[in-house]
Structure 1
Amino acid sequence: MKRILIVAPAWVGDAIMAQPLYARIKARHPDALIDVLAPAWTRPLHARMAEINDLIDAPFTHGELKLRERWALARQIKARGYHQAIVLPNSLKSALVPFFAGIAKRTGWLGEMRYGLLNDARELDPILLPQMAQRFYALGADAGVPLTEAMPFPVLTINADARDATVRKLGLSLDTPIVAICPGAEYGPAKRWPAVHAAALANRLIAEGQQVWLLGSNKDQEICSEIRQLAPQVLDLAGKTSLAEAIDLMSLASSVVCNDSGLMHVAAALQRPLVAVFGSSSPSFTPPLAIKAKIVTLDLECSPCFARVCPLGHMNCLNQLEADLVYTALNKLKT
């Protein structure tokens, strides 16, 4: 039985885009045991991926070296007897634990000068593999094997009992169609559609008899509060749910509107009809991977800039992207 350790990304969206890789491994090696090493807060994501056997919490955050902690974790991992580690992040730090653990085959893209740390290091051709999910997926095959088959879309499973309990706990009504709006983007304001436009969309949907839920974390409460002031009938759930609860509640939505964010990839993996709003980032690199997904972007000359804050100071890529464009895209999803 083959045992494989995945060193997973720490961002929500990136973690979801790795799921097709796990499906590919299981298709090639049905008896394989796939364990994931990732920050503890990603557990709700990985627990909803049917291919994963076990979750190992990484006791360090983004950017921390913590050599002593990595060495101690590697000693524990060594005892599990992994045959292969696949390292998805491109940082040098992310390759240290598999190296310290002495895992025989250590696979990943070359990244930050990881010669030696990886002994199955691949050289990336960004033209052949333009999307992040494709790059993860390619690591599930032997070196040199071209990506010829169609990559499946990410899939998250739902615990219906847990979802029902969350609905009861929050006193939610399911009597009218739900549109979930996810106005946050942890990366920075250059990814966030302005509150005034989100509120205009919400008011229009509510006037048609739909209910609008705002989903997000504590960090999204400020922009959700701005939307609520302009659209008082929205239901603001930002910061009131755990990530696990937000995932389960999103599965109830008849459609979802998101920025390019982790929750956008959650909605896609739940196969929810989705409108994705792109500003400073590129839908060519991290698109929503779903059949029923529409991308709305102005595709200005200055975008994508991939900046956290607009370097030109005007953020026209989102400020000029008005609610009508998103409303039209939502209606096209119904056809």
Structure 2
Amino acid sequence: MGLTSNKVLWLTAAFAVLLFTGTVWLWPRLARRNWRAVSGRVALLFGTQLALFASVGLAANQAFGFYASWADLFGREKAQGVVVDHTALRGAGGPLAVLDTGRMAGAGGSRPEAAGQIQKVDIVGRTTHIATPAYVYLPPEYFQARYRARTFPAAVVLTGYPGTAQALVNKLHYPRTARELAKNGRMQPMILVMLRPTVAPPRDTECVDVPGGPQTETFFAKDLPDAVAAHYRVGQKPRSWGIIGDSTGGYCALKIAMHHPGAYAAGAGLSPYYTAPIDPTTGDLFRGDRSLRDRADLWWCLKHLPAPDTSLLVTSSRIGESNYKATLKFIERVRATKLTRISSIILESGGHNFNTWRREIPATLQWMSGRLSKR
């Protein structure tokens, strides 16, 4: 049974309840001071605490999608790392291969022309040779005969770290929200390409071109749009592409939009930060290259680089988000550039979590839709 299985969660919770009940029932019998009674009390307390901790941890993982599997949890997921196998491109018939298709929940979910479709895909970068799984949401209009000659705008959607791409579908409800907004005329139909920024797991590359390592920024700026455009009817111009992310993904979205306005017309960071951290999950991202480190610092970019012709959106909360003051400062810095356009969503309260981002996603998708063109 997998880490995200409901059976695992319920069995663990049931075991915790059983241990708690057993502790209450057996405690009087273990009240003696001999070594067996003491050992029994210790074992029951330790087992109960461990089971409760595991239950809470599994429930939190179910809610927030931190890890997708046991291998992911214990850092053993290595199958989707950096690939230098050029035959993978030929075997898949291109840089993007569709592995599975899933129906959308709701009325007409079995008919893509009525509800849209979610496809699970593998993407291999032609220049970076990075391979990563993703989910692609195709709106109902994509399958309708009257739109068969039309191209659609596309938005790349990124999770935080470590995150799972599936959480963007099942927990943050991006496809369902996009479908409802388009159905109600509040945004244009868009293709969503949903994945996590951790394209070389378990390492957190912070969307940096790591010297001698994964060229993550190049993958998102060039390889990913090229792969999607080669397989789907998406607009070919920069005005057709946007990028959205939360937390680490939010930092990545802002950075990539600022660094590559020729690839993305807009970038939205939900609860972002503005400088790439260096910690045990990232390793040495810059290998002593100061120019690379400076370029990964959005404050430095605003001060020292020409203002990019792009649109940015940032979000925060007055209570509950640690980035609130930094976000207000970032807004002022961008406004001072005159050329780069900046918008924001500031909630009265909301933590760094899925519930907060679900409150921001509808307005973010509407904002993104208004800044992208069909062709």
Taking structure 1 as the reference length, the TM-score comes to 0.32
Larger radius of gyration: 2
Pick 1 or 2: higher relative contact order, CA cutoff 8 A, min separation 6.
1
Taking structure 2 as the reference length, the TM-score comes to 0.29
Greater helix share, 1 or 2? 2
